[in-house]
């Protein structure tokens, strides 16, 4: 359980040393993420006269608590902040309910981008509307907005939601922390639809093949092209942001 950000050992660390402590358990942690959590008031590292952050061990444990609640229990930052406030005031936070069912992790390539295999993987995950809201940590209102803009849809004929719907809902919740609303995400959907159209155009000749393996070759091509398009898209965004 994290203590107050102001307490703890007198030893102080810079932000790079904090990353070194956290990366083993939370590979996705970054300096901008830590700064964002500070901006949200979840951690309060000391500042030197020149403005550099200095973190105590209590600050690190507080970060671990925030990251664990996000990763393992899908709690939004507002709720995590309420927990930390209770802890700071000497109270116990509410018990954390176990998250069921356990959701399979999406396979990622070594560079953090989806691999071709992740596009062929299928699972039988079926979530009710109530389960999706709880596991994704979103409100019913946010889910309705995601549906309104065509970002999340239930499986036809069942009313259940799959893994893709869960990942989209979780991502939308995390983007909401940065001020993104579902209406802003329409651009992502439009871009994805364009990429899908290009992929389908390229593999159409393969699907028209008459031999028995034509469909398999088309499916393999779709997976490979999809992974490459995501890599290209992500790299173009990264390059654009770096040069901006």
Chain segment 211-243, per-residue pLDDT in tens: 767 777 888 888 888 888 888 888 888 889 887
Q: Do domains 15-88 and 116-243 have the same CATH topology?
A: yes
Q: Which CATH architecture is the domain 15-88 placed in?
A: Orthogonal Bundle (1.10)
CA atoms of 66 and 61, how far apart (whole Å): 9
Percent of the chain having pLDDT more than 70? Answer: 88
Does the pLDDT of residue 4 top 70, yes or no? no
- Look up the pTM and report it: 0.57
User: Residues with Cβ < 8 Å from 187, sequence gap 6 or more?
Assistant: none
pLDDT value, residue 118: 76
Cβ atoms of 81 and 42 closer than 8 Å = yes
Query: Burial of 219 by CB count in 10 Å (0-12 exposed, 13-18 middle, 19+ buried)?
Result: middle
* Alpha-carbon gap, residue 109 to 115, rounded angstroms: 5
- pLDDT tens readout for residues 147-198: 999 999 998 888 899 989 999 999 999 999 899 999 999 999 999 999 999 9
Instruction: Report the alpha-carbon distance of residue 38 to residue 40 in Å, rounded.
Output: 5
Residue spans of the domains in the chain: they are 15-88, 116-243
Distance (Å) of CA 118 to CA 42, 112, 125, 164, 218? 34, 12, 15, 11, 16
Q: Does domain 116-243 have CATH number 1.10.1660?
A: yes
């Amino acid at each position: 359980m994290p203590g107050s950000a102001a307490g703890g050992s007198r030893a102080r660390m810079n932000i790079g040393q904090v990353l070194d402590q956290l990366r083993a358990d939370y590979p996705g942690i970054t300096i901008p993420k830590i700064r964002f959590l500070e901006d949200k008031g979840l951690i309060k590292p000391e500042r030197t006269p020149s403005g550099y952050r200095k973190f105590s061990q209590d600050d690190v444990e507080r970060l671990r608590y925030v990251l664990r609640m996000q990763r393992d229990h899908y709690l939004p930052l507002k709720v995590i902040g309420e927990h930390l406030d209770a802890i700071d005031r000497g109270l116990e936070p509410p018990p954390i309910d176990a998250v069921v069912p356990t959701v399979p992790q999406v396979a990622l390539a070594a560079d953090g981008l989806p691999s071709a295999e992740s596009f062929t993987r299928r699972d039988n995950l079926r979530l009710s509307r109530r389960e999706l809201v709880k596991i994704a940590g979103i409100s019913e209102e946010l889910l309705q907005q995601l549906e309104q803009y065509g970002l999340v849809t239930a499986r036809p004929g069942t009313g259940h939601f799959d893994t893709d719907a869960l990942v989209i809902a979780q991502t939308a919740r995390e983007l909401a922390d940065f001020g993104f609303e579902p209406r802003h995400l329409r651009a992502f959907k439009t871009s994805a639809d364009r990429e899908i159209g290009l992929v389908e155009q390229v593999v159409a000749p393969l699907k028209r093949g008459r031999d028995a393996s034509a469909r398999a070759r088309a499916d393999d091509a779709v997976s490979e092209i999809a992974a490459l398009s995501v890599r290209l898209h992500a790299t173009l965004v990264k390059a654009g942001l770096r040069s901006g």
